[in-house]
Structures are given as C-alpha cells and as structure tokens.
C-alpha cells in the first residue's frame, strides 16, 4: 500500500496524466521567405508549393514575407530512411526545395507538431507513432517544459534547423497535449541504489529497452516509473534490464527490481 501511494505521488510529481489521444503530426507549417517583394513573382513559389506532397493549401503574406501552409496530418516532417540511407525527403525538405525552385530563399521554418516527448540516448525526441517518425528536439531553454510533458502527448512549436537526416526541431514552446494517448506505465521498486549515479544508470538501462518512451528514477524513494508504448513491452524485460546491470565497483545483482502491481 505504501509503495502504491509512493507511485501515485511520483506519477503526480512527474505530471504523467492519462487522457484521450490527440491528432499527431504537423498541424501547421509556416515558412519565412527572403526575396518576396512582388505578387507576380510570388506566383512561382505558390505553384511550386502546391505541388509538394502533403501540402493541401497555402496563404502567402507578402508584406510579412511568410507563407503559411496547411498540411495533411499524416505528412512526415522528416525523411524516411531505408538501410541507413534516406529513401524519401520529408515535408520540411520538400518545402525548402520548392521555395528555392520558385526563385526565393527559405529562411526559417516554423512548425507546430504533436507527438510524444521522450528521452533517448541521443537526447530529447518527439515521437509520432502515427507517421512513424522521430523528430530530434533541441530544448533551447525549454527543458522544464519538456520534462513536465515527458512521456505525454504534447504540442511543440518551434523552428526547424538542418536538412535531410540532420533536421532538428528547436523548441520554442511546449504545450500540454491531450494526455498520454493510452500509454502504459509501470512502477518498479528498486533496491541497492545508493546515489544519483545509480539512479542515472538505471534510468539509462530502462530507456534502452525497446518500447520504453521515458523513465524516471527516484533514489530516495527507491522507485522507478516507466512509460512504455502500449503492448510493446513485457514488464519482465524491465526487471531484467535492472537486475542484469552492473556498475564499476559493484557486483552483478546489486540492484534488484520488483514490479509494483
């Protein structure tokens, strides 16, 4: 009972609320364009952008030098790769190319994207299961917002940097989405932790398990809360990840995890 209460407190602290799934993906995309001065010349970029797969319509604001695109919800922002090579360009690259072919210079691309915020080995990411893409995030001073929404569906507004496989979404604003979209949570009781280093190592081990979106470990409460994709992770794998890990100067089996049911 004590553990159950602790888990509930931990869940409340981490803000891992559950709710209905929201529509994921790019909900809006605005590109700032340098060189836009006359409507007649802007026609070329209109024509090019309307041919971009995923773009449904657009509105050109010449005075502000920007073009607002209405895109299909299932349009991938980043490119798809096969065997380590980029197989198809993502929406961001296609839009950038269209603007260039229209005779102008794309300067900044601002997007609103919905997905699930997670932390991986490479850092913060926005995972959009509906389109099967993972968008790397640069927290840009919004770490608190990302942490608060970790493991949850959230809407991120930011600017895109880089091209092809190196696209990064520089976070400008994090807004709470409509909940976790049915993600599973697992609480673990963990013994053997003596410092924050232990907690970090265990968190890393848990997040390396395929299907895990995020993990939080509290060394004082001897607890871990793990967010996973529904039906993708057998809880026993979480236990194995902790029970089988070693740390320098500590024998194997130092850490013992139990599932809190």
Partner 1 sequence: MYVYLTVVVCTLLLADGMGSHAEAHEPLFGLGPHTLYQYGVGLESEVKVVEGGLSLNNELLYGVTPDLAVTLVAPWVRRDDPGVSGFGDITLRSKWRFLRRDFPGGQDALALHFGMTLPTGGRGGPGSTDLFGGISAARESRRWYYFADLRFRLNGEGNAVTRGNVFAYDVAWGLRPVRTRYEQPDLVMLVEANGKVVGRAERRGVPVADSGGHVLSISPGFLLSIRNWMFKGGLQVPVGWDLNGTQEAPEIETVFGVEFHF
Smallest separation (angstroms) from partner 1 to the CB of 98: 10
**Distance from chain centroid for Cα 34:** 30
| Residues 134, 78: Cα–Cα separation, whole Å | 8
Smallest separation (angstroms) from partner 1 to the CB of 168: 23
Q: Which residues bind partner 1 (CB under 8 A)?
A: 32-45, 47-48, 59-63, 65, 100-105, 107
Residues paired with 228 in a beta bridge: 184, 212
Q: Which helix (H) or strand (E) holds 12?
A: helix 2-14
| Residues 131, 78: Cα–Cα separation, whole Å | 10
Do 159 and 165 contact (CB within 8 A), yes or no?
A: no
Smallest separation (angstroms) from partner 1 to the CB of 105: 4
Cβ neighbours around 19 below 10 Å, total: 14
Residue number, 44 or 211, with CB nearest to partner 1: 44
Residue number, 13 or 37, with CB nearest to partner 1: 37
Cβ neighbours around 43 below 10 Å, total: 12
Smallest separation (angstroms) from partner 1 to the CB of 153: 35
Smallest separation (angstroms) from partner 1 to the CB of 107: 8
Residue number, 66 or 120, with CB nearest to partner 1: 66
Do 183 and 229 contact (CB within 8 A), yes or no?
A: yes
| Residues 166, 146: Cα–Cα separation, whole Å | 21
What are φ and ψ of residue 192, in 5° steps?
100, -10
Smallest separation (angstroms) from partner 1 to the CB of 126: 29
Residue number, 11 or 68, with CB nearest to partner 1: 68
| Residues 118, 106: Cα–Cα separation, whole Å | 29
Residue number, 49 or 113, with CB nearest to partner 1: 49
DSSP string over 56-96: EEEEEETTTTEEEEEE-TT--SSPEEETTEEEE--HHHHHH
Smallest separation (angstroms) from partner 1 to the CB of 58: 10
Residue number, 38 or 87, with CB nearest to partner 1: 38
Residue number, 11 or 62, with CB nearest to partner 1: 62
């Amino acid at each position: 009972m004590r553990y159950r209460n602790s888990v509930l407190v931990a869940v409340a602290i981490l803000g891992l609320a559950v709710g209905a799934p929201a529509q994921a993906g790019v909900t809006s995309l605005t590109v700032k364009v340098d060189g836009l001065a006359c409507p007649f010349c802007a026609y070329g970029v209109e024509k090019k952008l309307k041919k971009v797969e995923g773009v449904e319509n657009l509105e050109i604001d010449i005075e502000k030098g920007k073009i607002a695109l209405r895109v299909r919800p299932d349009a991938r922002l980043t490119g798809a790769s096969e065997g380590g090579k980029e197989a198809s360009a993502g929406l961001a690259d296609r839009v950038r190319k269209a603007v260039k072919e229209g005779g102008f210079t794309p300067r900044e691309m601002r997007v609103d994207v919905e997905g699930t915020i997670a932390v991986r080995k490479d850092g913060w990411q926005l995972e959009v299961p509906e389109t099967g893409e993972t968008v790397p995030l640069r927290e840009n001073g919004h770490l608190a917002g990302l942490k608060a929404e970790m493991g949850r569906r959230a809407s991120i507004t930011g600017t895109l940097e880089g091209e092809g496989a190196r696209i990064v979404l520089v976070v400008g604003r994090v807004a709470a989405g409509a909940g976790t979209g049915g993600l599973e949570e697992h609480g673990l009781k963990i013994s053997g932790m003596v410092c924050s280093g232990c907690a970090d190592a265990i968190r890393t081990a848990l997040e390396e398990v395929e299907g895990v979106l995020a993990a939080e470990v509290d060394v004082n409460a001897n607890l871990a809360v793990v967010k996973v994709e529904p039906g993708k992770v057998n809880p026993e794998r979480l236990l194995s990840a902790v029970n089988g890990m070693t740390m320098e100067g500590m024998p194997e089996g130092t850490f013992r995890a139990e599932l809190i049911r």
